[in-house]
Structure formats: C-alpha cells, structure tokens
Chains A and B, each alone.
Chain A
Amino acid sequence: MAVNSDLMRGVAEPVILKLLAERTMYGYEIIRLENERTNGAFEWKEGTLYPCLHRLEEQGLIESSWQLAGAKPRKYYSITRKGIAAMEEKVREAKEFIGALHLLLGAAN
C-alpha cells in the first residue's frame, strides 16, 4: 500500500509531533522511523518534511539544535512543552478525521 504524498501533507504535523514526543531526532531519522513503522506506506516526498519542521519550529512547538554526529553536523529536533499540548490536540483531530473518513468510505463500500 502506498499513500499519496498529497494525503500525507495534511497529517504530517501530528505525525512529526508524535514521533518527536518519543525522543529527539534529526530530519532523516524521522522519515526512517516513520517508514519503519508504516512499512513505507506513506509515499511522501522527503524534502517536504523540512518546511513542515521549520514551520513547527517557528510556531514554537519544536526546537532544534546542531550536534556533531561523527564528522557530520546534524540538526536535531525535540518537542517543546507547548508542542506536547499541541500534539495531543492535533492527534485527536487527526483521529477524529480518520474515524469520520472511515465511516464515510466504509459506508460507501
């Protein structure tokens, strides 16, 4: 199963917040973890993750810091307290949406 990247766009924020709530991660790590957990079901364009991350950072829901991993500098993101509160709200919204969608499309079947 592969999910269109346009569909992914709408739920990217709760997904990112949810993953970051577990631990501090850098961008690629987020993608990888998400792929692992969904078996690569979300076929989103990886580059679009970064505008999303930067937007969340701008909103103060996550924060970033540069760290050296070996010789490579990486930008790590971690969720803020405000981000945790927002995550719960966004996850709830996403679940409601998915539930509604399921009802709608399930009924159609």
Chain B
Amino acid sequence: MDDRIEEVVKRSSEPLKDDWALEQEVAQELRTHLEDKCAELEGEGNSPEESVEKAIGEFGDPDEIGRELLGANFRRIKLRGKLKVVLRICGLPLLLAAVWAAVDFSVLAGAARYCSVSTVNHEFSVKCDWAARFFGRFAGFRKPAGEPLLWNGGDGLNARKADEMRLELVNRHPDDPVCLANYVAEVMVRDKRPDSVKAVKLAIGREPDNALYHHLLSALIIEEAFEADRTVMEECEIKDRAKLDAAKAEYLLGLKCPYYRLYIPERGQRARSQYAGNAFHARMQQKVEALMLPIPALPRQRSVARAAIYYPELLIKDGRPEEAEALLDQWYVYPAQLLGSGDLLISMLIVDTILELNQKKLPELYARVGKPEKGTRIAAKIAEARASMAAWKAQRKEADDRAQEEAERYGGIFSFYLVGLGISLPAEYLRSDRIMTYCILDSLVLLCFTVLVLCVVGFQALCWGIGRACGEKGHFLWLTKREYGKLLLYGMLLPAGLYWLWLHADLLSGRGVGYQANLAMFCIQSFVLVVGLPVWFRFYLGHILLRRYRALVPSGEGTRRICLPFLTYVTTAIPLWIVFLLVVGGVLRFAANRELQYNVGRDRSFFAGLFSPAEDHVVQALRTDLAIGLDKAAELTRELK
C-alpha cells in the first residue's frame, strides 16, 4: 500500500476517530476505492507512481471530505464517541473556565463571604451551607465554632423554626440561664402571644427567682385585660378584670423576687465570640447586643410601669384606700430592680421613664388616699434623682443630630437606610454582612464582567473546538512588538484608565450617597464595565489583526476587502483574551479592594462616633447617680410610711 494513499485515507477518516469501528469501516471503503482506481489507471498504461498521483488528485481534498463524512455519519457515531467529539469541541472553553476559576477566584471568595455570612445570619438555610463550606476553603473563612444558633435572630422568614431550635437548646442546657433568656427575648421580639406566654411560663418554671419573667408575664396578661390599644391603658376599657388581678398578682410576685436579670452582657459576650478574630465586628456586635436586645421587652416594662400606677387607682375606685396606699408605697421596687439588672444605657433610660411616670402620678394618687404631702415630697426626691439624666440627655440629643449629619455625609451604602428611615442603628446593618454587601456589589460587577468576557472567550474557544474537530487548522498570527504595545495601550489600558477616571471624577452624582440611592449610576457604570470595555477590546483587536494581515499578504491583494479566516482570528485572539482577562480582572480586583477599604473606613469612623467609648463611662456614672437618687427617694417613702 502506498504511503500517500494511506495518508489520504487517514486524513479523510480522521474526523471520525472518536468511533474507532466507524473510522476503520470508512477508511477501508476509501482505501478500496483508491486501490481500485490505481489498478484501473495502471491498466490504462500509467506507471504506478503516476497512478497514485492521479488517483489522489481525482479523489479531492481529504480534509474537506473528512468534514463531510463527519457530518454525514455523526448520528452513527456511538455515544462514547459522540461524547468525545463534544468534549473535544468544548474542551478548550471548559479548560479556560477552569483556569480562570482556579487562578482568579476573588469572585468566588466574594460568594464565599456572602455564603458564610448568610449561613451565620440565616442559620437555618441549609442550602447555603455547602457553598459556604466549599468556597470557604478557598477564601479562608470559617463558620463560628460552638453553638452559634443560639446567638442569632434568624432571618425573620423562618422564625418559628428558629424558636423551636432555640427551645431545643434550652432543653439541652437546662442550667444555662443565658440560653433561656435568649430564647424568651427572641420569642418576645416576634410578639406572638401564645408563644410568648408559653416561653415566659417555661422561664418562670426554670428560674422562679428572676423578677424579669414575672414582670413579662404580668405585662402579657395586662395586654389581654384591656381593649385593643395597650400602650395607653389609662384610656382603655377593662375587658377582663380577673386577668387584670392575675397580672397584679404576677407583678407583686415579681417585686418579691431577689433579682432581675436580662442577661444582656452575657448574651452580648457570647454573640461577640462569634466574630472571634475580627475586632471591629466583635465590638459592633457587642454594642448591638447591648443596645438592641432588651428593646423588645421595653413595651412590656412600660406596660408594667403604667399598670403599677394604675392598680392603686383601681383600688381607690373600689373604695380600698389602705390597700392602694400599701401598693403605692412599693413604687420604688420595680425601678430599683431594673437598675440592678445591668450597667446598660437602655436600663437607665427605662428607669428614667418609670421615674418620670411616678413623678407625675404619685402626688395625685397619694392625694386621693389622703396623703398629699407624702406624694409631693416623694415626687421632689424623684426629680432630684432624675437630675443627672437631664444633662446627659441634652448631650445625647446633640450627638444624635451630629450623627445624622455624618450618616448623610459618610454613611456609605447604608446611609440611605440609616438616614431615610430615621433609624440610627438597625442591628442587621451592623453585622458583618454590612461589610459583605460591599463585597457582593463589587463581586457582582466582577462577576458580570467575568461572565461576559468568558462568554466572548468561551464562544471563540467553542468555534476553535468545532473547527479543530472538523480538521480545520487555524493560524496563529504573530503581531509585531509595536502592535502588541498599541493593543495593550489603546485596547486595554486607555479604556480601563478612562473608566477609572470617570468613576472617580464622579461627574453625575455624589459618591457619598451610596449605591442604593444611586442605582441608576451604578447600573450605567456596570454596563460600561461589562459591555463597553470588552467590546472596545474586541473591536481594536480586529482592527490590529486586519492591519497585520494586510502587511503580510501581497500588495495587490490589499485593494480588495480582506476577510480574515475565522479560525485564524480565533486562534490569535484567544491567548490575548486570556491575558486581557487576567490583567483587567486583576486591576479591577485591586480597584474594588481599594473601594471596599475606602467605604469600610468611612463606615468605621461613622459608627465609632455613634458608639463613643465615652458612653460606657456615662452609663456607669448615670447608674450610680440614679441608684443614689432612687435610694434616697425610697428611704423617704419608707420613713413617711
């Protein structure tokens, strides 16, 4: 067999090589044909050499025949062979995607951050967990150790399940009062009455000496005793007198308890351990826990405080002034209990509110039981006790006003929420996902960019794979140094630089307002980034390649319109696209990191101002002043009794 014939047969049947049997069958058919042809030509008097030449010449282009044979026989190729063909076609795009992901997984790191944080905050969404664990390995993030479920509030969508899991923890740790307090507080946050009553009763059973739970239960019963609006019970109709008496009994039980504990510092401390190693988040978390957690109990504490005044009034109406006076004489126990519950600003504020209520109501009520002077003197003492609060309140108001201004100016992406809603401190914005939101936004831009560029590169790689599978051979077109330089300068650096300048020149709107308030701008910027830059690069590369081609082909050809062979273009472009991806991706990542640091820095200063360390000292001093003032007022009450 002549080698030249075998070469033609091989080239013609090669595209079918993924199905060996089919390839052999087709090769045999072609081989027989060529041998027959040669034999005939030799019979006509040609030399063997001439016969082979002629037979091959009349056979046609083996590469083209091979492509047509692949098309004609594709359905006959066995599945394994088909998979091989598909793999050969998609191999390069897949490889590029894999290399991209392996080399430059900042986007994945962003996803990992998001997933990690989501897992912490939405602790029950299992679907996120695998991603967090998988990407977390790359990104070096880890989930909090221990039992973090206890110290998070759930995401609000699966509250019942969250409650069930917290209850399970309470049952697993029956001697842990912090666990119990957390469960009760979280149930109370959601304000679902049957659940709240159940939780508080469970807590009373476990910790009967804690006045908190008795007062919470009392407040829950009070709310049932009145018509609709529970906040201004003085104006409400009593719906159920028996319930009101039950609430009073519970209140008195609470007054006899030796201590009143919300376990807020302990809960804050445990929450803080969740962010071990991250001082900023840990500090923020502690503040948030300290400031925010008791707030759900605040309406209840107010209810109890109002009821404490309301009960004597009812007793007076019932014609039982002695009992009313005995109850009035206990007015100081409840604020004293609250004051002893911890060195927290919120406790001071609640105590101050209760004292204010007593200051107003006691003179009137004592007057109605026939002891007007007693009431007046006690009210005066209460006013003295509250004096220390007044100066501090003025300072705080001033600080609040300043904070609002600063939020507008420096609040970063959340200032829109902070200022717009007039809320100074929503807890969830202080958790770590606040910072992560920057990552997500940046990652989003990078992700869009990556997807788009990968699509462009992937498409070209796919074309390359198809071309190769069909036996086409693309030519790599080397450019001159000057052309590579121009491509780098005008195709990449110049547009990227212009984009960067545009971002920082900020012609259309203020950056300080944040992305949310400036969504249109964000969209335009993203569009330019993900569409404009790659499209420009593609255009400029095409331009350079055509010029190069014109330089290479004979001058006579230059007059007509040149159309580059597609595979040649693709073969030349793919390596450049890869370089483009890596270089621009790296630059963007660097820029995104800078942006992140910039915003986080601003937020840090903003929030640091809001939670000044001075506040801690103020709380300590306030508590002492209030405690002394309250003691004096209580002492006077006892003397007058």
Contacts and interface: CB of A to CB of B under 8 A. Distances in A.
Nearest to A29: B36
Contacts of B68: 48, 51
B60 A74 contact: no
Given A46-B60, A48-B65, A58 B28 contact: no
Contacts of A48: 60, 64-65, 68
B29 A50 contact: yes
Contact of B69 (A50, A73, A74): A50
Contacts of B65: 45, 47-48, 50-51
Given A51-B65, A74-B32, A58 B76 contact: yes
Contacts of B26: 50, 54
B524 to A, nearest CB: 52
Contact of A27 (B33, B40, B62, B69): B33
Contact of A28 (B28, B36, B61): B36
Interface string A68-94: 000011110000000000000000000
A95 interface: no
Contacts of B29: 27, 50, 75
A51 B60 CA distance: 12
A54 B61 contact: no
B58 A45 contact: yes
**Interface range on chain A (Cβ under 8 Å from partner):** 10 to 19
B69 A45 contact: no
Interface in A24-73: 26-28, 32, 45-48, 50-52, 54-55, 58, 72-73
Contact of B37 (A28, A45, A51): A28
Interface in B374-429: none
B54 to A, nearest CB: 11
A54 B70 CA distance: 10
B32 A51 contact: no
B75 interface: yes
A46 B307 CA distance: 106
Contact of A51 (B25, B40, B69): B69
A51 B71 CA distance: 8
Nearest to B30: A50
**Interface range on chain B (Cβ under 8 Å from partner):** 20 to 34
B12 A54 contact: no
Contacts of A28: 32-33, 36-37
B72 A47 contact: no
Interface string B20-62: 0000011011101101110010000000000000000011111
B37 A54 contact: no
B61 A73 contact: no
B557 to A, nearest CB: 23
Most chain A CB atoms below 10 A, which of B30, B36, B37, B64: B36
Contact of B73 (A5, A46, A54, A72): A54
Contacts of A72: 32, 35
Given A28-B32, A28-B33, A28-B36, A45 B73 contact: no
Contacts of B25: 75
Contacts of A75: 25, 28-29, 32
A45 B55 CA distance: 10
A51 B76 CA distance: 13
A58 B73 contact: yes
Nearest to B55: A46
A43 B71 CA distance: 23
A35 B501 CA distance: 73
Contacts of B72: 51-52, 54-55, 58
Contacts of A73: 28, 32
A28 B32 CA distance: 8
A75 B32 CA distance: 9
Contacts of B40: 32
Most chain B CB atoms below 10 A, which of A51, A55, A58: A51
Nearest to A75: B29
A27 B32 CA distance: 9
A7 B424 CA distance: 82
A73 B25 CA distance: 10
B32 A58 contact: no
B71 A47 contact: no
A75 B62 CA distance: 20
Nearest to B69: A51
B253 to A, nearest CB: 91
Most chain B CB atoms below 10 A, which of A28, A47, A51, A55: A47
A58 B69 contact: no
Interface in B142-183: none
Interface string B556-569: 00000000000000
Contacts of A51: 65, 68-69, 71-72
Contacts of A50: 26, 29-30, 33, 65, 69
Nearest to B29: A75
Nearest to A69: B32
B32 A45 contact: no
A28 B76 CA distance: 23
A58 B40 CA distance: 30
Given A45-B58, A45-B60, 6 more contacts: A45-B65, A48-B60, A51-B69, A54-B73, A58-B75, A58-B76
Interface of A: 5, 26-28, 32, 45-48, 50-52, 54-55, 58, 72-75
- Going nearest first, the 3 A-B pairs with the smallest beta carbon separation are A45-B60, A51-B68, A54-B72
Interface of B: 12, 25-26, 28-30, 32-33, 35-37, 40, 58-62, 64-65, 68-69, 71-73, 75-76
9 contacts: A5-B60, A28-B37, A46-B37, A47-B65, A51-B68, A54-B26, A54-B73, A73-B28, A75-B29
